[in-house]
């Protein structure tokens, strides 16, 4: 594909416990690349969201990732993370949520660990049924400085009153790899169940 690779990012998240101020969830995902012909990324993880105050949550997570296992550059990754999520702006017709995350990539095969910081803003025009959404995420690493910019436009489809949703969208990403910025286009699907 001219201008970058077309990918498909697919994720299912299940919130299996929500007691008081604590919500626990698990997730799994698959990513395809090379114009959707190569399954290159498999991931599984868990997260605890702990509400501190009326709207602010502290996030504690872990992700296991198996990447490009058929290629010579394949590796496994363990990624513990900590962050905070908070409303940046809340109006009846517009909601902006901000998430600040820190994670540590621990890689095998002698690859160096990496510390990463991510700032993400998600904008939603809340509606019953289908809501339009926008997302912007910037990532910085201890080795590379500014490393990634990710922009997404899509829709959030609310399935029921429990909060089950399906998110579908288009994502454009530029990532700093091997001394140059590489573009990636993705079709993103997320299923969130409670």
In this model, does residue 2 exceed pLDDT 50? no
Long-range CB contact pairs, 114-122, < 8 A, 24+ = 114/141, 114/142, 114/143, 115/141, 115/142, 116/140, 116/141, 116/142, 116/147, 117/141, 118/83, 121/88, 121/96, 121/97, 122/96, 122/97
In this model, does residue 70 exceed pLDDT 70? no
Local structure of 176: helix, strand or coil: strand
pLDDT for 178 equals 75
Confidence of residue 111 (pLDDT cuts 50, 70, 90): confident
In this model, does residue 55 exceed pLDDT 60? yes
* Structural domain count, the chain: 1
What is the overall mean pLDDT for the chain? Answer: 92
Query: Quick check: 187 and 162 in contact, CB under 8 A?
Result: no
Mean pLDDT of 151-179: 93
pLDDT for 79 equals 97
Percent of the chain with pLDDT over 90: 70
Range of the domain at 122: 5-193
User: What is the chain's length?
Assistant: 194
Mean pLDDT of 101-128: 93
pLDDT for 162 equals 86
Mean pLDDT of 189-194: 96
pLDDT tens digits along 122-138: 999 988 899 999 999 99
Report the predicted TM-score, pTM, of the whole model to 2 decimal places. Answer: 0.88
Report the CATH number that the domain containing residue 75 is assigned in CATH: 2.40.160
Q: Residue with structure tokens 């910025």? A: 181
């Amino acid at each position: 594909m001219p201008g970058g690779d077309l990918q498909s990012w697919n994720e299912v998240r299940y919130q299996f416990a929500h007691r008081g101020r604590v919500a626990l969830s698990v997730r799994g995902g698959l990513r395809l690349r090379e114009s959707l012909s190569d399954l290159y990324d498999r991931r599984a993880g868990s997260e605890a969201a702990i509400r501190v105050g009326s709207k602010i949550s502290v996030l504690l997570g872990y992700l296991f990732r198996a990447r490009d296992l058929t290629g010579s550059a394949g590796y496994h990754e363990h990624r513990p993370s900590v962050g905070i999520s908070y409303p940046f702006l809340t109006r009846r017709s517009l909601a902006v949520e901000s998430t600040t995350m820190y994670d540590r990539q621990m890689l095998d095969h002698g690859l160096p660990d990496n510390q990463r910081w991510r700032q993400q803003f998600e904008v939603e025009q809340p509606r019953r049924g289908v809501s339009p959404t926008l997302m912007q995420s910037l990532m910085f690493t201890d080795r590379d400085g500014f490393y990634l910019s990710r922009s997404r436009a899509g829709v959030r489809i609310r399935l029921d009153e429990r909060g089950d949703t399906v998110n579908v969208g288009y994502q454009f990403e530029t990532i700093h790899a091997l001394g140059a910025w590489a573009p990636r286009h993705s079709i993103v699907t997320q299923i969130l169940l409670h």
